Amino acid sequence: MPHAVIFDMDGVLIDSEPYWTEAEQHIFQQLGVRLPPEITAQTAGMSTKAVTALWYAHSPWTGMTLAEAEQAVIDYVARAVLERGQAKSGLLPLLDRLRAQNIPLAVATNSPATLMHTVLDHLKIRDYFQALCSIEEVSQGKPQPDIYHLAAQRLGVLSRDCLVFEDSVTGMTAALAAGMRVIALPAEHHWHKADYQQALTKIRSYHELPAQPAQWLQLSAVG
């Protein structure tokens, strides 16, 4: 049985990854940035600050500071969450099951606290979590392990006793570096990435998980 379960947010609690893609296209293209797919594919799981710096390095712009561009992207995603945001399939029954077994839960996200609270309130799931960790609270975001160490500390458990749900390679790298085990929920277009073989397993929906959390740690990685 995992002693605690930690959830990433975007792509794990809520199907919001498409909103980030839309936001990047909307904001950065307005600033004259061309968005080649080979660079766009690298941004999943990165902090908004890191993504903004990446695009600025690729194609510097004028008329808006990096901080203003970063906030414009966050604001776009927040609006999309409020207008269209839905919980990942099977998430709510899963949270109920974990709460019934008294397993402490945390959120650890590379998104800012304002957006994290927007998502939790919109989905009405805040009360499930005993610890909430956002990008502002650590010196280095994912793929560094800092935010996962912080989540374990706040839950009062050892990092090695935590199980993490992550959708991106960036986030999975952070959780593994923290000494945690990971169940991956890759986006369909990332499903066959070899990096996900480092996870216990990968799933398309929480409905695929065994009924008992004690069984999750015995799952086998799939190709």
Whether 183 contacts 202, CB under 8 Å: yes
Known catalytic residue at 96: no
DSSP 151-195: HHHHHTS-GGGEEEEE-SHHHHHHHHHTT-EEEE---GGGTT-GG
Please, which residues bridge with residue 105 across strands? 5
Known catalytic residue at 8: yes
Per-residue burial over 135-165, b if 16 or more Cβ lie within 10 Å, else e, is beebeebbbbbbbbbbbbebbebebeebbbb
Which of 8, 15, 146, 167 does the annotation list as catalytic? 8
Nearest to 186 by CA among 209, 167, 205: 167
CA distance linking residue 58 with residue 79, whole number of Å: 27
- Return the structure tokens found at 156: 């009062």
Which of 10, 15, 146, 167 does the annotation list as catalytic? 10
Which residues make Cβ contacts (< 8 Å) with residue 135, sequence separation at least 6? 47, 48, 49, 109, 110, 111, 112, 113, 141, 147
CA distance linking residue 177 with residue 152, whole number of Å: 13
CA distance linking residue 134 with residue 59, whole number of Å: 28
By annotation, the residues acting in catalysis are 8, 10
